[in-house]
Structure 1
Amino acid sequence: MLSVKDLVVHYGAIEALRGVSLEVPEGQVVALIGANGAGKTTTLRAVSRMLRPTSGSVRFRGEELTRLMPHDIVARGLAHAPEGRGIFLNLTVKENLDLGAFLRRDGDGIAADRERMFSLFPILRERMSQVAGTLSGGEQQMLSVARALMSRPKLLLLDEPSLGLAPQVVERIFQVLRDVSAQGVALLLVEQNAHKALQIAHRAYVLETGEVVMTGTGAELLASPEVRKAYLGE
């Protein structure tokens, strides 16, 4: 579904990505793990065209994305829930959700998907008319994921969905990710909780200083002594 080849990204003179290549097969969960500054967020931002790569290829369902605008990429079925949530703090929960579907014209379908989001995250129904900036951190993260899902993506990019959240909220979000994956949506997941990410990942990549240094199934990396020492606190 997604094929990234030899991706290079610069921030001025700094080379943030040095030829990153990865693949996300249809319907699978792929995790990116690595230390802060390894290039994980930069990879997601380059895929969704929130920044322009220096060179390399990003192909989604056979189409090159590097020449498209971000809204065109959303229209093709790729959504991005960014680090820091990126919700509209001065708008209500419902307004944020509706903006996730801004390219759609099927009113009944949008209403049905809004109800689906409320079933995934019941607290959002209770907060539907509440301004998003007054939500707790966990509620804002739920809203970020739900808003991305409102575009009906085939592939969802998630950047640090559990960062700074209480354990019970983390469990809820990861259960939703499992449910979404079971419904056929592919996930490309950047997550500081490497253990959680590898538990649900079909495949994973380890990034260090802008390069892929290891890849394997989630189970293989969970069992790797190098990964356990560097990222799992063992």
Structure 2
Amino acid sequence: MSLLQSIWPYIDGFLRIAPGIVLLPLTFFLGWKKVGHKVHISYSTAHERISASRIGNVVITNLKDKPLTVHEVHAMIDRHYVLPVQKFKTPVIVKGLESFAFDTDSVSHYYLGVEEYEPDSLLGQKVEFYLTTQDGLVKCKVANPPSIQSYSKFKDYVVASAHTRKYNDIVYNDKAVYALIYNHDGQSHTAIIEDGGFIITGWPFLPNQLSQQDMASKDSVKAALMGSEIKYIIKDTELFVHKLR
């Protein structure tokens, strides 16, 4: 019997199991991609004249090869306050190994109990994100800056509540003084006059600012506008002024 014939049963046995050995690391890797959750978040901050400063555009990246159902997004600020970022009316499904981007809803004010809380700037503050999912809370790693880490508990922290005021779907806060409702080109429009006299959000006309004297009352606001070139664009009977505060 030759040497090859004597060792062939061992070679044959090895060749039968070799594909499984080669595929084992790949099988383990693919299985690991489906276990648990691993999520990255990147974000920007939004600052507007008539609403509270807030976390603005958010990108959720699902690093696992299975879908992630997100109901709510919260941020922990300096490991002390928990800030509501977004509550989805319909849960968002982030597919495996994909990203989902969204703009957060505007907020008039944040309150910690009865005290107003204004997150003026998140620069220099430690910001951590948590997702409320079908599997419970999921901590995220913040992608910007990459040194920020996520933590799994915030039950002992004060949670900020969001309070939103809207007028015709425009979110406003105490800087907004009047709302202008007018008809133009057969459509109804709404604009806001803030406390500095600027007319914003839906007012493409001049004048776009009123003096403090003109803002003394609803009647003086309308009189100032109807005494300008606006009277050739908007009819007196189709301009209404509503006092917001």
Larger relative helix fraction: 1
**What is the TM-score normalised by the length of structure 1?**
0.21
**What is the TM-score normalised by the length of structure 2?**
0.21
Larger relative strand fraction: 2
Higher RCO (Cα < 8 Å, 6 or more apart) = 1
